[in-house]
């Protein structure tokens, strides 16, 4: 089958996830720029085959029995630019898909133009080195910009302040349902907690806006958030981040998903090499050779445990990519 970009039949996805669980997909596509990305999406849609988008694989559990259809990876779409004059629409049109951009004075125009596969840690480092504030709390969050926007990645401070990817977004560029590039301004985009609510739109890139600060301040704040994250999460283990969304605090009495799992006795539960972290009840760890069946089974077991104890249904934050030709959902 011919594809408009690099393509690998039967590629194994396991190593492309942070949990290290997954099997082969019929076709893995690796577009090298946003236009190839758009063409790959259109080609898959026109052929009517299931299509999924894979970013950094930091929030997915992939079936190891194999996936039908096509997975389009954003791995090669990893560019980050400083904009020139982005005031005119046509200038943005030229710049988002282009690698050749005249850098602006960082203090005068504290924005970055990113492709969807830019790794979040690389983006955080770039912002820190320019003295751009806004992503300090994302220090230590793996994945790609597109995945971060699709998931509206973020967190909550101890005082309850919510911070999320959408805080720094000025506009996103998507491949829309018609297969065309479309820019969506932040005020026309309505993301919610851990859900970018993009529908059929797929993120090709974005323009991000920051607050200029001193580089030292940004670096210090990033270090502090990384230190806090490392103190409570099993960051060096193989995981897919938080398994469950935090439930509505009104219904859970303000308890997080991790605390509910802990109180229900979920910490330390295991199936095969899949186990619930002793450190954080919302992290499922692959201790070596966990299978997708182990992971799916353990997730259901924990959901049952919490439901029996509290009556609350924990909703998955991680995306479960089940095989057997089930309907693909990005």
Question: Which residues lie near ligand FAD (CB under 6 A)?
Answer: 18, 52-60, 74, 116, 141-144, 146-148, 150-151, 153-155, 198, 202-203, 235, 239-241, 319, 330
Instruction: Tell the smallest beta-carbon distance from residue 106 to ligand FAD (Å).
Output: 25
- CA dihedral (133, 219, 193, 13) in degrees, to 10, reads 120
Instruction: Tell the smallest beta-carbon distance from residue 87 to ligand FAD (Å).
Output: 26
For ligand FAD, the closer CB: 109 or 168:
168
Residue 71: φ, ψ to 5°: -115, 125
Instruction: Tell the smallest beta-carbon distance from residue 107 to ligand FAD (Å).
Output: 28
Cα–Cα distance between 330 and 314 in angstroms, integer?
Answer: 20
For ligand FAD, the closer CB: 40 or 131:
40
Instruction: Tell the smallest beta-carbon distance from residue 223 to ligand FAD (Å).
Output: 16
Provide long-range contacts, Cβ within 8 A and 24+ apart, for 9-17.
11/71, 13/54, 13/57, 13/62, 13/67, 13/71, 14/62, 14/64, 16/54, 16/57, 16/73, 16/75, 17/57, 17/58, 17/60, 17/61, 17/62, 17/240
Rg of the chain on CA atoms, in Å: 20
How many CB atoms neighbour CB 170 within 10 A? Answer: 17
For ligand FAD, the closer CB: 97 or 147:
147
Torsion sign (Cα): 245, 112, 146, 77: negative
For ligand FAD, the closer CB: 191 or 266:
191
Instruction: Tell the smallest beta-carbon distance from residue 167 to ligand FAD (Å).
Output: 12
Instruction: Tell the smallest beta-carbon distance from residue 326 to ligand FAD (Å).
Output: 14
For ligand FAD, the closer CB: 57 or 247:
57
For residues 84 and 95, is the Cβ–Cβ distance under 8 A? yes
For ligand FAD, the closer CB: 70 or 150:
150
């Amino acid at each position: 089958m011919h594809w408009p970009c690099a393509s690998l039949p039967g590629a194994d996805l396991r190593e492309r996830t942070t949990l290290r669980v997954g099997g082969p997909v019929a076709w893995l596509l690796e577009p090298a720029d946003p236009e190839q990305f758009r063409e790959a999406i259109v080609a898959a849609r026109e052929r009517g085959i299931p299509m999924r988008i894979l970013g950094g694989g930091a929030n997915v559990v992939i079936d190891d029995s194999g996936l039908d259809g096509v997975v389009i990876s954003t791995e090669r779409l990893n560019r980050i630019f400083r904009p020139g004059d982005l005031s005119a629409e046509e200038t943005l049109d030229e710049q988002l898909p282009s690698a050749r951009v005249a850098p602006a004075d960082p203090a005068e125009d504290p924005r970055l133009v990113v492709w969807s596969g830019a790794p979040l840690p690389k983006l955080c480092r770039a912002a820190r080195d320019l003295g751009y504030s806004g992503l300090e709390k994302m220090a230590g969050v793996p994945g790609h910009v597109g995945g971060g926007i699709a998931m509206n990645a973020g967190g909550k401070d101890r005082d309850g302040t919510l911070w999320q990817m959408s805080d720094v977004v000025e506009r996103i560029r998507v491949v829309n349902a018609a297969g065309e590039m479309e820019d969506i301004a932040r005020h026309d985009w309505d993301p919610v907690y851990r859900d970018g609510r993009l529908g059929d739109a797929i993120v090709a890139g974005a323009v991000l806006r920051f607050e200029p600060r001193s580089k030292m301040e940004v670096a210090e704040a990033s270090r502090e958030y990384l230190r806090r994250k490392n103190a409570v999460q099993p960051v060096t283990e193989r995981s897919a981040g938080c398994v469950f969304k935090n439930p509505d605090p009104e219904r859970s009495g303000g308890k997080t998903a991790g605390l509910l799992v802990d109180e229900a006795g979920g910490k330390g539960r295991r199936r095969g090499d899949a186990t619930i972290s002793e450190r954080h009840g919302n992290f499922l760890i692959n201790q070596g050779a966990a299978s997708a069946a182990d992971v799916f089974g353990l997730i259901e077991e924990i959901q049952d445990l919490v439901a029996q104890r509290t009556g609350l249904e924990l909703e998955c934050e991680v995306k479960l990519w089940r095989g057997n030709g089930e309907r693909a959902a990005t």
